[in-house]
């Protein structure tokens, strides 16, 4: 992969990435006002826009639309832009991470509500769910990830569930976000992003169980999903107050 391939891909979806960034900042605006001030909230949007513009050429290319984790990496870059701006305002890494944990559950809630409002097909199912599921794409990409074609990619094993202990799972051996954040001296913020999986599981009723992550010192991230069960995730940074 050369820089041209990366630039071609991210430039082709640049408008979409900024629309998503605006949604993040709009949802997070009230949080920023309540934690800091109206002035800080007003200043954030143009500054985060500029920072994200700077980051886009440095987001690793990991297979584009074929890779189910490309948008995870992009989302981490959008928040990295926010973290960098907050740091320039004298807000430390831990505090910046906590801000993201106050914002992200609201983003997940808004996303699921938007899915529920999408047009349905003639058979009554949600059109978004008629596409190849994220889980199926994860299963298919697992072997590709193990070839290590893209240095900035995740490397993982997909586990078929037995329907009793779990429906499906992954053992993450390398993390794309952790690699990316290390390049920007921000690796200590990754546990906050690991904690985002808690509201994602709870709102989506995905029943995630996870005992460890690479970012928090584990030898892997052990994801196990079973729809409908209680979410149980070990985290060094999550607190119940972040729940919606």
DSSP-based three-state secondary structure for 195: coil
pLDDT value of position 117: 58
Q: Tens of pLDDT along the chain (244 residues)? A: 567 778 799 999 999 999 999 999 999 998 889 888 898 888 888 999 999 999 999 999 999 999 999 999 999 999 999 999 999 999 999 999 999 999 988 888 887 777 665 554 444 444 344 344 788 899 999 999 999 999 999 999 999 998 789 999 999 999 999 999 999 999 999 999 999 999 999 998 999 999 999 999 999 999 999 999 999 999 999 988 777 6
Domain extent for 212: 3-242
- CA–CA dist 82, 99 (Å, integer): 10
pTM to 2 decimal places: 0.90
DSSP-based three-state secondary structure for 168: strand
- Rg for the chain, CA atoms, rounded: 18
pLDDT value of position 120: 47
Return the closest-CA partner of residue 132 out of 200, 80, 65, 179. Answer: 65
pLDDT value of position 110: 83
- CA–CA dist 147, 226 (Å, integer): 28
Return the closest-CA partner of residue 209 out of 181, 237, 231, 179. Answer: 231
**Counted domains in the chain:** 1
Beta bridge partners of 223: 170
DSSP-based three-state secondary structure for 230: coil
pLDDT value of position 131: 40
In terms of C-beta density within 10 A (0-12 exposed, 13-18 middle, 19 or more buried), how is residue 2 classed? Answer: exposed
């Amino acid at each position: 992969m050369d820089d041209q391939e990366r630039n071609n891909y991210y430039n082709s979806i640049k408008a979409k990435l900024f629309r998503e960034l605006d949604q993040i900042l709009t949802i997070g605006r009230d949080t920023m006002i309540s934690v800091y001030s109206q002035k800080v909230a007003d200043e954030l949007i143009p500054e985060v826009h500029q920072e994200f513009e700077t980051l886009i050429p440095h987001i690793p290319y990991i297979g584009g639309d074929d890779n189910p984790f490309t948008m995870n990496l992009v989302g981490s870059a959008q928040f990295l832009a926010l973290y960098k701006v907050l740091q320039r305002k004298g807000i430390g890494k831990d505090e910046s991470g906590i801000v993201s944990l106050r914002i992200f559950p609201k983003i997940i809630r808004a996303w699921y509500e938007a899915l529920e409002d999408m047009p349905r097909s003639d058979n009554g199912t949600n059109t978004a769910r008629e596409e190849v599921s994220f889980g199926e794409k994860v299963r298919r990409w697992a072997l590709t990830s193990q070839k290590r074609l893209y240095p900035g990619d995740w490397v993982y094993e997909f586990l078929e569930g037995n329907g009793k202990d779990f429906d499906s799972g992954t053992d993450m051996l390398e993390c794309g976000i952790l690699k990316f954040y290390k390049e920007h001296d921000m690796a200590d913020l990754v546990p906050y992003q690991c904690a985002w999986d808690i509201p994602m599981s709870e709102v989506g009723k995905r029943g995630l169980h996870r005992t460890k992550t690479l970012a928090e010192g584990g030898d892997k991230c052990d994801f196990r999903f079973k729809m409908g069960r209680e979410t149980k995730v070990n985290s060094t940074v999550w607190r119940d107050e972040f729940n919606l």
